[in-house]
A and B are shown apart, each in its own frame.
Chain A
C-alpha cells in the first residue's frame, strides 16, 4: 500500500520537555490507523503538528509522497487534512450550516450563497449517511449529531484524511455503532482515518493498523491481526495491567446522604435531574456511571449545595437540608472534588499553602481569634505537613498552583478535602487528565477514605474507574437513575445497556 501520509522522525520539544521523540507514523489511502496511548503519551501533540497548530522541532512530513511543510491550520486543510477534536470546535452561537461553511474559501465570493452551499452539504451528507439538521443551532443537537457535523465540516473542506480524536468518549454504545458505520463508509470512499483512542475493544474493531505511543515515543506498529487487548494494554502502559483488587464492601445501614425524589430542571435531559432517589451509606463508594451530560454534573452540584432542588428532599446524616449553599454543606462535613479542578477546585494564582488552607481559615491551628489574625508561619508549617503526607510535588509551598501539573493539583485538592475526615465525599471525574501514577494515588486515597467511614459518591465518565472502585453502581441516563447494581461482580452488560437508556 502506498502511504497517503508519512510522518518521519517527528520530534517536538516544549522547552526542555520532549512531547514527541522520533515518531514514525504512516497512513495509507482507505486505511484506518489507530494511535493508541495513555494521556500524555503524545498523541495530541503529534496530531496538532499534523494539523499545523504546532511546528515540529525536527522531522519531516510527506503527503502523497511529497515532502510538505504544514505551517498553519489552513495549510493543513488545503492539503486535505481534517480533524475532529475531542472537544468539538463548534461555535455554539451559530447554526450547523454556519459552522460547516466557517472559514471555507472555495470561491472568492463575498456573500454567503446559502442555497447553493446547502445543496452541496446535503449531497455530501447523503453520500456518507451523515444525518444532520442543517438549520438547527449547535446547542440544540445531540453530542452524536455534533460529531457528525464535525465530520461533515472536514469532508466539506475536501479532507482526504480524517483525524478522529477520542471520538467515542462522549458517545453511547448505539452512537458508537453509528460512528463506526460512517468510518467504514469513509474507507470505502478511499479516505484515510486516524483513530485516536485508548479503548481496546473499539480499537480492535475498527482499525487496520495500530500504533502505540508511550511517553512521546513510538512503541510499536501492529497489524490488526497481530493485536489482542492484553498485549495492547501492556504495550501502552509498559507493564502488566493491574486490575481492580480493591475489596468491595456491603452498604451500611447508617446513611450519610439520602436523596428523595429530587428534581432540577426536569425537562432538560442533558443538564437536569428527574425524580432522583439515592442513598449512600457510611463507608461505601457509590459509583455513578453514565455518558457525560446526563445530569451527573447537576447531581454533584446538588450534593454539594451549589444548586438546590426544585422539588424533593435531601438529607445529610438524617438531617433535612433547608439551605442550599456550599458553605452549609461544608459545615455538614461534605467534601468535594469538583469536575474542573482549575475552575472550581483551586485558585490558580494563590500559593499551594493558601489553597490548602481555603477551608480552615477560622481554625485555631492557623489563626488567632477565629480568623481575625492568620498566622502565616503556622499556615506554612501546616501546608508543609500536608505536602509530605499527600506527596505533593512542588518546588515550594509558596509556589502558585497554576504552575503545577494536573496530578499535583489534584493532590492538593485531596489533601484539603480529605484531611478533615469528611462524612461524605463527592468526587467528580477525579482522575480526568491524570497520568497513571497520579490516578492510582487518587484511587488509593478514596479507598482509604472510605475505609475510614466516609461515604463516597464517585461520578465518572470512565466506566473502568467506576467498576474498579464502586461498592454499588448507579446508572444515570437523561437525568434519571435508571438502575442500581452491585459493585461486586457487576453485571457489565446490563450496566452498559442502562447507560444507553435500555433497561428491561
Chain B
C-alpha cells in the first residue's frame, strides 16, 4: 500500500504555500499545492491559468505560492507549459513544468490546449484541481459539476453529468493518467513522483471539495474528500501506458456492498440539500456507470 511506503515525517518541511495567502478558509487547492511542493520540491515550475489558484496568490507585489508560478489566460495553460518546458530543456534547466488548472481551465475553456499538448506528447505534468464549478467567479456550473448539484447557474440542480476528462486524456494514449484526492495526500504525492519520472505528457485529476461552493463547513474539506472516495463517488485509479489499475482504497470498492451509502457524502453538502429523489437516482446511476466502465476495462485487460 502506498500509505505505508510514504513516511509523512520525511516529507520536506519547506513552505510551498505562504501563510497569509488569499484563499478562503479550508481551501482544498492550497492543500493540494502544498502536496505538489512536497512531492516535486524546488524543481517544480507551475503554470497557472485563470481560476481560484490565480486569485489565491494575492495582490502584487507579493505572491502566495512558494513555487515559481506563471500566470496565463484561461485557454492557454497547457500551450504555455509546452513552450516553457521546451525552453527550459533547451537551456539545460532540470525542472518539472506543472500546469495547475481548475476544472473550468481543464474541461471547458482549456480543453483544446490540453488536447493539443497531450497529442504532441509535451513533457509536462498537467494537474486538474477539480472543485466541480467555477468557484472564484461565484460558483457557476462547469462541465465537471456532478448531476443534481446546486450552483448559481443551476438553481434546480445541474441537469448534466460530469465529463469523463481522465478517460478523454487517456484516449490520447499518453503515458500516464491518474486520479487523486485531497483526502489521500500520500496517494497524490506518490502519483506526482511517479509522473515526474516518466517522459511525455502526464495528467493527474485531483478531486478538491470546496467549502464555499459545495456549501459545507470549512473544517470538513478532508473528511468530505475521503467520503467521496469511500462512497465510490470519486474513484482513485491510474492508467500507466494505457493499462488501468485501481488504487487503494478504491481497489477494495469494486463490489458496491463495500462502499458507504452515497447519502453519507451528499448530506454534508448544502449544494445537494434540495436534490430531488429522481436526480439522486440519476447521480447514483452516473456513479454506477463509472464503476461499470472501470470493471469493463479491467476485464478487457484480463485483471478481473
The finding on whether chains A and B are genuine partners in a shared complex, rather than unrelated, reads no
Chain A residues within CB distance 8 Å of chain B: none
User: B residues bordering A, Cβ < 8 Å?
Assistant: none
